[in-house]
Amino acid sequence: MTEKVKLGIIGYGAEGGMYAGFFAKNDERLDQNVIELAAICDNDPAKKEKVAQDFPELPFFDNYLDMLESGVVNAIVTTVPHYEHVKMGMDALKYGIHLLGEKPVGVYTKEVERLIAASKEYSDTTFAIFFNQRTNPLYRRVKELMDNKEIGDLQRATWIITTWWRPQGYYNQSNWRATWGGEGGGVLVNQAPHQLDLLQWICGKPEKVTAKLQYGAGRDIAVENEVNALLDFGNGVTGSFITCTHDMIGTDRFEIFGSKGKIVVEDSKRLTVKKLVKAEEELSETMSMEDVVKLFMGQMNMSDYVEETVEEFETVMGQQHIDVLNNFANHIVNGEELLAPGEDGINGVRLANSIHLSSWLDKEVDYNHDKDLYLDELNKRIVEEGKFETKA
């Protein structure tokens, strides 16, 4: 058996504080046979004091490189601004330290590819992404249904996910937030990465993307906070991905239409599955003329052809995050399969980049677009903004 995971948390903010809290409270759900909290790192002196109060015995570092070199930790989680994810991740891998990267794995695919290349070079070191929604039993069930073709082949997916309301005060909290140079985007980079991951995890990768965005809709910010994207999966199979941060009455409705049925997820908690008794095309071809007439007279009972199930899922505070920590540690210690391997993280980033790029170029773009073109366009916006260095 490999050594137990000794986790170092980099960043003692809201997320980092939550993870540390699981250990502090000896949360029963945490598999402490395989994981322990070994250190916390933060470059903010105020956080140093706070950690000293909360965890008087725990090693603290104000520089992540010192932590990586210390020998105190053999794994890290990076709850830091997005642009730090790749650099810290690559340094960890070079030190042979397992990486649980926060989402998004990076801001642009060019940097993410560097991280993935490093993870292949240091292939004994685990690289996973903190996609806690992948542990959500509801979305795991949806993925299973789709993987097993229980509603046939994908025809269309439509996700309206606008429950990300953020007032101006949220954006005013720090100078990097909702900037091109400090954060790399808006709702696509900060709030919606989970759904960008789930959408392609469940429905596959699109081929082309056309998107219409608003930048600073009702907010004093430079980045996008209103998104309507049309995804083309090829052969007329499509998707719509709609998100924003200015809808106080948020909608969360994910509909997947397949050749043998339909899945509707409402509020990320109610799952309705409607399965046809046969493939729709077969029902269409074998329906008698008499039944066609009945259909138009409103005399056909459509429910004769449909089996419907409704399941309610409860969200248990912290469960998803603990599941990710347990899975990460059990993978390292016992070889359990990773729920979110690091290289999976690039798909959501590529989708977010495609959506930006389509809006910037005002045309449809390939999902597999030129990564340098994206970075050039991003840098143009960073230069215009004039607050941060360009990226490479």
Q: Which residues in this chain contact a second copy in the complex, by CB under 8 A?
A: 14, 155-156, 158, 160, 162, 165, 167-170, 173, 210, 212-215, 217-219, 226, 228, 230, 232, 235-236, 238, 240, 242, 244, 246-249, 251, 253, 255, 257, 259, 261-262, 264, 274, 276, 280-281, 283-285, 287-289, 291-292, 295-296, 302, 305-306, 363-364
- Name the residue with tokens 């509801």: 138
Angle between helices 371-385 and 345-361 (to 10 degrees): 60
Q: Measured from the CB atom, is 144 or 291 closer to a second copy?
A: 291
- Report in angstroms how near the CB of residue 168 gets to a second copy at its nearest: 5
- Report in angstroms how near the CB of residue 289 gets to a second copy at its nearest: 5
Number of H-type helices and E-type strands within the chain: 13, 15
Sign of the Cα torsion 92, 93, 97, 98 reads: positive
- Report in angstroms how near the CB of residue 16 gets to a second copy at its nearest: 15
- Report in angstroms how near the CB of residue 349 gets to a second copy at its nearest: 22
Q: Measured from the CB atom, is 57 or 299 closer to a second copy?
A: 299
Instruction: Collapse the DSSP code of 140 into the 3-class scheme (helix H, G, I; strand E, B; otherwise coil) and give the result.
Output: helix
- Report in angstroms how near the CB of residue 57 gets to a second copy at its nearest: 28
Q: Measured from the CB atom, is 33 or 175 closer to a second copy?
A: 175
- Report in angstroms how near the CB of residue 221 gets to a second copy at its nearest: 11
Q: Measured from the CB atom, is 72 or 287 closer to a second copy?
A: 287
Give the Cα separation of 328 and 320 in Å (integer): 12
Paired sense of beta strands 154-161 and 252-258, if any: antiparallel
Concatenate the DSSP letters of all residues of 54-79 into one string. H-TTS-EESSHHHHHHHSS-SEEEE-
Other Cβ atoms closer than 10 A to 150:
14
Tokens of 198: 């789930």
Q: Measured from the CB atom, is 98 or 262 closer to a second copy?
A: 262
Q: Measured from the CB atom, is 52 or 306 closer to a second copy?
A: 306
**β partners of residue 265:** 254, 271
